[in-house]
Amino acid sequence: METKAEHTREHQLHTYKQELTAELGNILNYWMDNTVDEQHGGFYGKIDNDNHVIPASPKGSVLNARILWSFSAAYNLNPDKQYVAMADRAYRYIINHLIDAEFGGVYWSVDYLGNPLDTKKQVYASAFTLYALSEYYKASGVAEAKNQAVNLYKLLVDKSYDTERTGYLEAFTKEWQPIADLRLSAKDANEKKSMNTHLHVLEAYTTLYSIMPQEELKEQIISLINNFLEHIINSETNHLVLFFDEDWNEKSGTVSYGHDIEATWLLLEAAEVIGHHELIEKVKHVCIKITDAAKQGLDADGGLWYEYEPAAHHLIKEKHWWVQAEAMVGFYNTWKLNNKQEYLDLSLRNWAFVKQHLLDKQNGEWFWGIYANGDVMQTEDKAGIWKCPYHNSRACIELIKRISRQ
């Protein structure tokens, strides 16, 4: 007989799934209604917080890849023709403008007309494109999409993989030669290897493996998981180390709560997709520890702070949209691992925080974030190089699927 606690939980989960299903529709509708560039093709490169299009803005490869992934994944969850049509549009733009037909890989950005702008080969951007193409292949069955994903995979292994020390180097010139500035963004350290790139190469390879289950790719995924277990996860603090030199020496002390909680479920998903039972058990154990470390960044309102600088005892008191999206999934995932109600409650409280503070009920989508006093970060994008439909749509999709499996 069902207990009162079990009945309450079933009701919570039913409501959670209903609300996330509605929110996923809201997110996708925003991007369909506001971001399509009918004049110059593809999607606008930048929309500000007040929903004003900045028409001559550069168009980023990460933005376009994340649009492709989001609409492909949404179609794979719910086969709505509008979703695959948006995915088709993103796919064509990436193939025609962002993939370097001469040297391979993807440009970091093109101008608003679609001409190459920043031609640096950031491994992170190629990984996201690979990830998106793999998901799009599942949605569309377009063989060329799979071929392009496989080409990117082979290129990353050939050009970026460190055969001596394992792991992936950050960035290269257009011609895949060494480059002085390796950074993804101005706030990043200029180092040879990063947690962020490794996390998203792992994510990309996991999705590729679902359409191409080959032994060589499996070995790459195992190597990446081991990079996290041996180098990236600090065994003393259980936080992720963000930057390294070529030899895996730590070059950063910054704590990123969002990446901590995001890694918990992506690492487990990778181990599960390749069916590596020993790694699955090892990752489960470690990921609970990482979740508990990430909990240090929770505020009383259920939101998760952005970053912490231990050396200066400085907490960056901002609550960014993507950090909350990852918290929703990560805490839910940990609840499924240890069956402790507090982790489900953390996921639900974080969603309550999002509903109260981050959903733009007037203009649509999620705000970039809020400050400690609750004010919206007005000067940040609603859509742009980094502000994409991926984190929040993926949180909705992941949780809908997970609750459905209950």
- At 365-384, the pLDDT tens digits run 999 999 999 999 999 999 99
Average pLDDT over residues 333-362: 98
> What is the longest distance spanned by two Cα atoms in the chain?
65
Q: What is the pLDDT of residues 85-138, one digit of tens each?
A: 999 999 999 999 999 999 999 999 999 999 999 999 999 999 999 999 999 999
Amino acid at 128: F
Q: 3-state DSSP call for residue 376?
A: strand
**Domain residue extents for the chain:** 4-404
Average pLDDT over residues 233-242: 98
**pLDDT at position 7 over 90:** no
Average pLDDT over residues 48-72: 98
Q: What residues are paired with 189 via a beta bridge?
A: none
Q: Which residue has the higher pLDDT, 1 or 162?
A: 162
**pLDDT at position 1 over 80:** no
Q: What percent of the chain has pLDDT over 90?
A: 98
CA separation for the pair 332, 342 (Å, rounded): 10
pLDDT of residue 334: 98
Taking the whole predicted model, whether its pTM rises above 0.85 is answered as yes
- Would you tell me how many other CB atoms lie within 10 Å of the CB of residue 335? 21
Mean residue pLDDT of the chain comes to: 97
pLDDT of residue 152: 98
- Would you tell me how many other CB atoms lie within 10 Å of the CB of residue 379? 8
pLDDT of residue 56: 96
* CATH class of the domain at 4-404: mainly alpha
pLDDT of residue 58: 98
For the chain, counts of helices (H) and of strands (E): 12, 14
Per-residue H/E/C for 291-347: HHHHHHHECCCCCECCEEEHHHCEEECEEEHHHHHHHHHHHHHHHHHHCCHHHHHHH
Q: Map tokens 């974030």 to a residue.
A: 369
- Banded pLDDT at 6 (limits 50, 70, 90): confident
Average pLDDT over residues 286-290: 98
Q: What is the pLDDT of residues 10-31, one digit of tens each?
A: 999 999 999 999 999 999 999 9
pLDDT of residue 357: 98
pLDDT of residue 5: 84
